[in-house]
């Protein structure tokens, strides 16, 4: 096997269609091109991701994303060593669109095909961006997921705990909906929070009174709904300043919960791997500056290295999929035309299924 590997990656598991080219050399990995076509405007009228609309949009956009990525990298299919594609978990129609597209290119260009777990793509991102060595503790926090994992190898993860209901990204999205802010909720709630007082409302920090790393975020939206209704009843509407206070207080509740659970996960992780003190965060919610800062502080308390990927590599992208594909392929793993799309695909095969469901449905 050559010591330089160049892979095309495809991502279509939720509401972003993406294609990217990543090259790995003995000196590290480089993103040669990364194209993301979001679907926010298509789903906006419905207040959430509509699976059928997403699948159709992926099928329409995948070809052009691939063409654009190849052109940006200045490469042809003959220059590639393989093609990686998200094969799950996610919205099944979208995942199928990506898998079919990848199979077509692999068959047409005679390239190896590697199916990638979307969550592994997020969880391996600190290796793409910072060359982080195994093992490390990972907090994967997105619109559909929230879990603490120990990453042992590209396909070996142990879960220390996770959300038992909503994922934080989902809580941000629902908060935005309740407060009439645009979707996706994360960036809009974060912007509004920067104008408010995080101590104005005291929202719950669930499960902090219980040991372990499990989390719960569904009670937050109920508390927020109640607070909003009280404000509307008292003021005849929702004054802008109070809305900012609500966003800031909501974000503070998420920060505190993630920070405290990270302390517990780090203590557990460091007990098992004291010689490799590393903590990394990934997934769309890791784009939140207040959350990154809170986790960085916790990391400093424990004297561990902290890795948070650049914002564009926190949210869904195909560079992480191309890279995860290279990692699998380098270990002699690949798929064939029997590769199928999986709506559920837990990273830790031994851990019991999480009850939580995200916007992509219960699956891990
Ligand atoms: O990883 P991702 O792109 O897709 C999933 O796999 O879920 O994450 C998307 C989620 C959305 O719920 C979005 O609201 C949230 O990440 N998000 C944020 C921020 N940017 C995106 N949440 C909080 N603050 C942000 N700045
Ligand atoms: Zn994701």
pLDDT in the model for residue 1: 72
Domain 5-127+316-362 has CATH 3.30.930.10: no
Task: For residue 90, give every residue at least 6 positions away whose Cβ sits within 8 Å of its Cβ, in sequence order, or none.
Answer: 12, 13, 14, 118, 144, 343, 360
pLDDT in the model for residue 364: 41
- Residue 284 CA to ligand 1 centre (angstroms): 3
Tokens of 330: 């380098």
Tell me whether domains 5-127+316-362 and 134-312 share a fold: yes
pLDDT in the model for residue 45: 84
- Of all residues in the chain, the percent with pLDDT exceeding 90 is 88
pLDDT in the model for residue 333: 96
Task: For residue 24, give every residue at least 6 positions away whose Cβ sits within 8 Å of its Cβ, in sequence order, or none.
Answer: 4, 5, 6, 7, 30, 323, 326, 330
Confidence of residue 306 (pLDDT cuts 50, 70, 90): very high
Are the C-beta atoms of 110 and 136 separated by less than 8 Å?
Answer: no
pLDDT in the model for residue 235: 97
Question: Ligand 1: which of 91, 119, 143, 357 to mutate, judged by most atoms within 8 Å of the beta carbon?
Answer: 143
pLDDT in the model for residue 220: 94
> Tokens 């003190």 identify what position?
277
- Whether residue 335 is predicted with pLDDT greater than 90 in this model: the reply is yes
Query: Stretch 320-336: mean pLDDT, rounded?
Result: 97
Are the C-beta atoms of 321 and 148 separated by less than 8 Å?
Answer: no
d(CA 342, CA 91): 9
pTM over 0.85: yes
- What is the maximum alpha-carbon separation in the chain? 69
Question: Ligand 1: which of 18, 122, 177, 284 to mutate, judged by most atoms within 8 Å of the beta carbon?
Answer: 284
Cα 52 to its chain centre, rounded Å, is 21
pLDDT in the model for residue 57: 92
In this structure, the residues whose C-beta lies within 6 A of any atom of ligand 1 are: 14, 142-144, 169-170, 172-173, 184-187, 190, 283-285, 287-288, 315-316
- Of all residues in the chain, the percent with pLDDT exceeding 70 is 97
Tokens of 298: 């916790």
- The Cβ of residue 282 has, within 10 Å, a number of other Cβ atoms equal to 28
Tokens of 223: 């508390």
Confidence of residue 296 (pLDDT cuts 50, 70, 90): very high
Question: Ligand 1: which of 89, 295, 315, 345 to mutate, judged by most atoms within 8 Å of the beta carbon?
Answer: 315
Residue range 134-312, CATH number: 3.30.420.40
Confidence of residue 210 (pLDDT cuts 50, 70, 90): confident
* Per-residue pLDDT tens digits for 109-152: 999 999 999 999 999 999 999 999 999 999 999 998 999 999 99
Helix-helix angle 240-272:218-235, to 10 degrees: 160
d(CA 79, CA 65): 18
Q: What are the domain boundaries of the chain?
A: 5-127+316-362, 134-312
């Amino acid at each position: 096997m050559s010591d330089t590997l160049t892979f095309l990656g495809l991502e279509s598991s939720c509401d972003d269609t993406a294609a990217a080219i990543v090259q790995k050399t003995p000196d590290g990995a480089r993103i040669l091109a990364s194209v993301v076509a979001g679907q926010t405007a298509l789903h906006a009228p419905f207040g959430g991701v509509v699976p059928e609309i997403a699948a159709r949009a992926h099928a329409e956009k995948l070809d052009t994303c691939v063409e654009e990525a190849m052109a940006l990298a200045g490469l042809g299919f003959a220059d590639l060593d393989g093609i990686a594609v998200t094969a799950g978990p996610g919205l099944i129609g979208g995942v199928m669109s990506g898998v079919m597209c990848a199979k077509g290119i692999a068959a047409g260009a005679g390239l190896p095909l590697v199916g990638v777990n979307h969550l592994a793509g997020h969880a391996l991102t600190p290796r793409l961006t910072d060359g982080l060595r195994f093992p490390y503790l990972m907090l994967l926090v997105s619109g559909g997921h929230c879990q603490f994992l120990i990453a042992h190898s590209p396909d070996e993860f142990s879960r220390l705990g996770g959300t038992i209901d909503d994922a934080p990204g989902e809580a941000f999205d629902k908060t935005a909906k309740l407060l009439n802010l645009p979707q996706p909720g994360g960036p809009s709630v974060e912007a509004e929070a920067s104008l408010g007082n995080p101590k104005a409302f005291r929202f719950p920090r669930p499960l902090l009174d219980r040991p372990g790393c499990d989390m719960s975020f569904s009670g937050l939206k109920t508390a927020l709904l109640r607070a909003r209704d009280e404000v509307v009843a008292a003021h005849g509407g929702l004054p802008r300043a109070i809305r900012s206070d609500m966003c800031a207080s909501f974000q503070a509740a998420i920060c505190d919960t993630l920070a405290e659970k990270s302390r517990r996960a780090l203590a557990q992780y460091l007990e098992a791997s004291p010689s490799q003190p590393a903590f990394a965060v990934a997934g769309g919610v890791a784009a939140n500056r207040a959350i990154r800062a809170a986790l960085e502080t916790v990391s400093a308390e424990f004297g561990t290295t902290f890795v948070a990927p650049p914002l564009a590599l926190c949210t869904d992208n195909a560079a992480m999929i191309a890279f995860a594909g290279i990692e699998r392929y380098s270990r002699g793993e690949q798929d064939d035309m029997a590769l199928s799309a999986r709506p559920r695909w837990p990273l830790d095969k031994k851990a019991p299924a999480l009850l939580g469901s995200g916007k992509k449905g219960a699956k891990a």
